[in-house]
Amino acid sequence: MKWKLEDLEDALLIGSTLVEGSTLTEQESREILAGRTVLGHPISEARELLNYRSAVEWLIHELQKSPYVSIDLIQSFHQKLFTGFSGDHGKWKSIENYTFRSDGSRFDYVSPSKVQTAMQEWIKLYNRDPHDRNQIAELYYSFQSIHPFQDGNGRIGRVLMAYWLHWKFKSLFTFKLKDKVEHLRALEAANSGDLSQLERFFKKRISKE
């Protein structure tokens, strides 16, 4: 079964974009993807969504040539995700990045000097045959804890998880705007060493294609 763009738009691309702070609604996002103009929002928000779809379309085409993911593939995807935006895209981050837990403590992602090695190891894990679908929590969290780019890590990571599930298990991953809070809580728990919430998060959102 082919991995199809139309199967991903409403199931993943819209929600994965909106959770990153967009002011668009899901219906407005559908209008934009249908080629209609939506007023009252920054043009950049529509461009982000359209870029995401275009980048995923490119990714699907590339993965039809070879199912394996590589560093070049991920970096090229990042570059296409930010087409038309200023910045040095398609390269690993050059500045330290971090997040704050709900208790105010800081969680540091992998430092820029260690990203190349960390991503090489991550790609090996991604491409090898998994034990079961539950491995997706570890795989996703590992990518997010590396946070290899300055921006776009969530959108890229979720698409890569969707492809991994399709490739390895012929399963569909659904991610909606309403999943934002649970997703953030699960990631925060993982930052403290507890992957169980992230495992439950994915389990509820995976179905057979």
pLDDT score recorded for residue 1: 63
Q: Cα–chain-centroid distance for residue 34?
A: 22
pLDDT band at 209 (very low <50, low <70, confident <90, very high): confident
Tell me the average pLDDT across 51-62: 98
d(CA 80, CA 91): 12
Residue spans of beta strands (DSSP E) within the chain:
98-100, 106-108, 171-173, 206-208
Domains along the chain with CATH numbers: 5-208 (1.10.3290.10)
How far is CA 63 from each of CA 50, 56, 184, 189, 202, rounded to the nearest angstrom? 20, 10, 29, 32, 23
d(CA 153, CA 165): 18
Q: By percentage, how much of the chain surpasses pLDDT 70?
A: 100
Q: What is the mean pLDDT of residues 50-79?
A: 98
In this model, does residue 127 exceed pLDDT 70?
A: yes
Region 130-157 average pLDDT: 96
pLDDT interval class at 126 (50, 70, 90): very high
pLDDT averaged over every residue in the chain: 96
